Amino acid sequence: MADITQEKIHSIVEKQRAFFRTGTTLDIGWRKQQLKKLAAALEANHEELEKALAQDLGRSSAEAYFCDIGPVIMEANETVHGLSKWARPETHFSGFACFPSIFTKVYKMPYGVSLIISPFNFPIMLSLGVLVAAISGGNTAVIKCSSKSSACTKAVADLIARTFPPEFVTVIDGGHDVADMCLDERFDKIFYTGSPKVGSHVLEKAAKYLTPVALELGGETGNWAVVRKDADLKDAARKIAFFKILNAGQICININQIAVAKEVADAFVEELKKEFERQIGDPLSNKEYPRLITRGAYDKCSNEAEQYRDRIVYGGRGNADTLRYSPTVIYPVNIDEPIVMHELFCPLLPVVPFEDSKIDALMDTIAQREHGLALYLFTKDRKWAKKTMRTQQYGGGCINEVCVHMMVKGVPFNGTGHSGMGAYHGKWGFAEFTHPSTVLFGSTRCNLPLREHPYTEGKLNLIRKFEK
């Protein structure tokens, strides 16, 4: 969409607001039809989307479909299946304090016109996946896609334009200036995926209109993986290597740093190196290995690697022309060094040794930092792992696994603190994009005068009994 102006964005929002007010989106059957149309459009155009992902990020067709396109189709199908149940009004007994008005309904109402601001790293899933939730709730949507993933933004815009009328769903292209133009408009719901710094900015903008906001953020100090001395080192290395290769580390739930028990740290690093070799070989010549999104992202990754050049035990190579930078293991790294104090969002992987007997101190240090979007534990001690997962603060995670928790049907994907607020996927996405409205059905008969003046001692005693 060329020549975006504040006036154009305002016009789009007002047209969507007018369409919402027609009541069309309130019909559950209509919402299901739109979700089916979206899933069909994704399936019909998956090759075009895969080409766009290859152009922007160097993603292979398999990775593009498995991680970006397929999950949205699955999400849409799941939502179609469950929507009638999720949207059904709840009936509650009003309680004796409301007698004789004994029935109350809770309606799941759409917010109205929603704004979805999506990032570059998963430009299909993190725009259209959120759209599934917005549609399920009965909202219209303006999607502001990333200008960094320009081929994907164009492909998404074309797909949406062919599938939905602009008064229902519209895609807008542009940088931070266009995002601010959108945020200057009055939306009824905002969903932003990206960095904590920009997330704070989104909240500030939304405060003007008190617009409810959901944020999915990476976490200021990144996501930890913890490898205990009793862990299956080969299994842990295999899964961690796979995850770090995926999208060249440009994933909000990716492992930012690994804490490994000193007793097994050397052995684990050797297993990790073997797995990188086995899975990707020479990443700079392997066409399946993705690239960093921009020259700026490449330079940032390369420059930070150079600061730890003397401790790079694997990788540390890049090609500025192709924007590929190899998975890079940096070992050993102290827990207080700069590289583990911020989100990396690249294929660098610092390894932090710790004494296994001091695991509680390690987890306390992690807990004192900003909450990550994910936490990954590798250990045979299930009792300790379960206790840790119940007591730490993070978005979601896995025990002896990586990343696939976000693929599970019927569970929320969310963050907390610097990793976000709100949740979506399935019924949680429906809940995120709806407001529960409580309506009591009053009776015109047998109304008791207890709540009315004058308040006698007898009335007060009866009120106390009812409320107890």
Q: What is the pLDDT of residues 187-241, one digit of tens each?
A: 999 999 999 999 999 999 999 999 999 999 988 898 999 999 999 999 999 999 9
Over residues 430-457, the mean pLDDT reads: 91
Q: 129 with 29: CB under 8 angstroms?
A: no
Percent pLDDT > 90 in the chain is 90
Is the pLDDT at 98 greater than 90? The verdict is: no
Q: What is the DSSP letter of 149?
A: S
Percent of the chain at pLDDT exceeding 70? 100
What span, in angstroms and rounded, lies between the C-alpha atoms of 131 and 141? 7
**What is the rounded distance in angstroms from the CA atom of residue 144 to the CA atom of residue 142?**
6
Mean pLDDT of 138-164: 98
Mean pLDDT value of segment 364-388: 97
| 305-332 confidence digits (pLDDT tens) | 999 999 999 999 999 999 999 999 999 9
pLDDT of residue 2: 56
Burial class (CB in 10 A: 0-12, 13-18, 19+), 17: middle
Secondary structure of 71-136 as H, E, C letters: HHHHHHHHHHHHHHHHHCCEEEECCHHHCCCCEEEEEEEECCEEEEECCCCCCCHHHHHHHHHHHH
Q: Is the pLDDT of residue 451 over 90?
A: no
pLDDT beyond 80 at 466:
no
Nearest to 368 by CA among 343, 337, 342, 392: 392
For the beta carbon of residue 338, count every other beta carbon within 10 angstroms.
10
The torsion angles phi and psi of 146, rounded to 5 degrees, stand at -75, 140
Predicted pLDDT of residue 151: 98
Would you say the pTM of this structure is higher than 0.75? Answer: yes
Residues with catalytic function = 216, 252
Write down all domains in the chain, each with its CATH number in brackets: 6-217+433-437 (3.40.605.10), 223-412 (3.40.309.10)
Q: Is residue 375 pLDDT above 90, yes or no?
A: yes
| CA 181 centroid distance within chain | 23
Q: What is the mean pLDDT of residues 353-362?
A: 98
Would you say 448 and 436 are in contact if contact means Cβ atoms under 8 Å apart? no
Confidence (pLDDT) at 245: 97
Cα(43)–Cα(356) distance, integer angstroms: 48
pLDDT greater than 60 at residue 1: no
- Going by C-beta distance under 8 Å and a sequence separation of 6 or more, which residues neighbour residue 343? 195, 218, 219, 220, 221, 222, 256
